[in-house]
């Protein structure tokens, strides 16, 4: 797998993780109340949100490392 392909995959994964982290905070009618005090789409919010944001950051760091390597 080339560096360009890997870099593109990491970018796509990071964007997807960012979108999913925002989705976990959306209000939704379910039986469980999240730690934020309201009914969210993900009952584990904000912990799932923070985990997804961390993984997106990690993908960004890996992408920067790959892009900084010499060809």
pLDDT recorded at residue 71: 65
User: Rounded to 10 degrees, what is the CA torsion of 18, 24, 28, 32?
Assistant: 180
Q: What is the residue extent of each domain of the chain?
A: 3-68
SS3 18: helix
Q: Assign 36 a pLDDT band (cuts: 50, 70, 90).
A: confident
Average pLDDT over residues 4-27: 94
Q: Quick check: 21 pLDDT over 80?
A: yes
State the DSSP H helix or E strand holding residue 48, giving kind and residue range, or none if neither: helix 47-68
Task: Give the tokens for residue 64.
Answer: 């920067």
Q: Quick check: 65 pLDDT over 90?
A: yes
pLDDT recorded at residue 42: 86
Q: Quick check: 70 pLDDT over 80?
A: no
What interhelical angle do 3-23 and 47-68 show, nearest 10? 160
């Amino acid at each position: 797998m080339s560096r360009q392909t890997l870099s593109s995959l990491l970018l796509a994964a990071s964007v997807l993780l960012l979108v999913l982290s925002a989705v976990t905070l959306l209000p939704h009618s379910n039986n469980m109340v999240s730690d934020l005090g309201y009914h969210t789409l993900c009952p584990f919010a904000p912990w799932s949100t923070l985990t997804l944001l961390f993984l997106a950051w990690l993908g960004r760091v890996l992408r920067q490392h790959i892009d900084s390597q010499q060809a």
